[in-house]
Amino acid sequence: FQPLWRRLDRRARRWVFGSTATGSEVLRRVGEMLEDAHDISHLGNNLVRTVVEGLELEWARMSVSVGQEGPIRTVAAVRVDEQGPVVPDLVVPLVHLGSTVGYLQCGPKRNGELTKADEALLTTVGHQAALAVSNVQLTAELESRLINLGRQAQELAASRNRIVQAQMEERRRIERNIHDGVQQEIIASIAKVRLARNQRTRVQRHRDI
């Protein structure tokens, strides 16, 4: 089945890249794919598959840092286990602005060996991939910050509502106390007036007698 598999694989590659996969065609396809990259896993799968098919590699896998300063983890693998030990023919660091954001591990070519031109092509792909990975990570970080800011804004609004409610309750309590106090004073004053009136009436009657 191996010869049949290779023929089918070549047909699939021709369908994707044409009769021959030149370096410019691989870079063009990688560039188009990276323009629409919004997720690390999706980006890694498309990139690794494009490299494997374009350069006729036995396998390849890609690992990137979790976050901008997190640990390195595998995000995509084609024709190889994601976590298993491997001996790559070429490891391309994904470097952006002096920081390594991941690695692209490449297995041997199915026919022949990796040439200097292949290595130069993969280095260029690595630079493009590093930029895309950094952009996706930055976008994810900004989205996370926006979510946190939205949550904090909701908490502040809820806290302000609680403060306003507490102030309103305190004002009502003061108003009730004032109202009740004034009412009691009025009742007491009326009682005093009545008492004084009664006393004056009794005194007047006593004088008349």
Read off the pLDDT of residues 114-127 as tens digits, 9 standing for 90 and up. Answer: 999 999 999 999 99
The pTM of the full predicted model, rounded to 2 decimals, is: 0.63
* Rounded CA separation 36/33 (Å): 6
Q: For residue range 28-87, what is the model confidence (pLDDT) as tens digits? A: 888 887 777 778 888 899 999 999 988 999 999 999 987 656 688 999 999 999 888 889
Give the model's confidence band at 154: pLDDT under 50 very low, under 70 low, under 90 confident, else very high.
very high
Question: Residue 106 has which token pair?
Answer: 């490449």
> What's the average model confidence in pLDDT over 119-142?
90
pLDDT, averaged across the chain: 82
> What's the average model confidence in pLDDT over 113-140?
90
Q: Which residues contact 113 (CB under 8 A, 6 or more apart)?
A: 89
Closest CA to 49 of 21, 72, 73: 21
Residues in the chain: 209
H or E element at residue 161:
helix 116-208
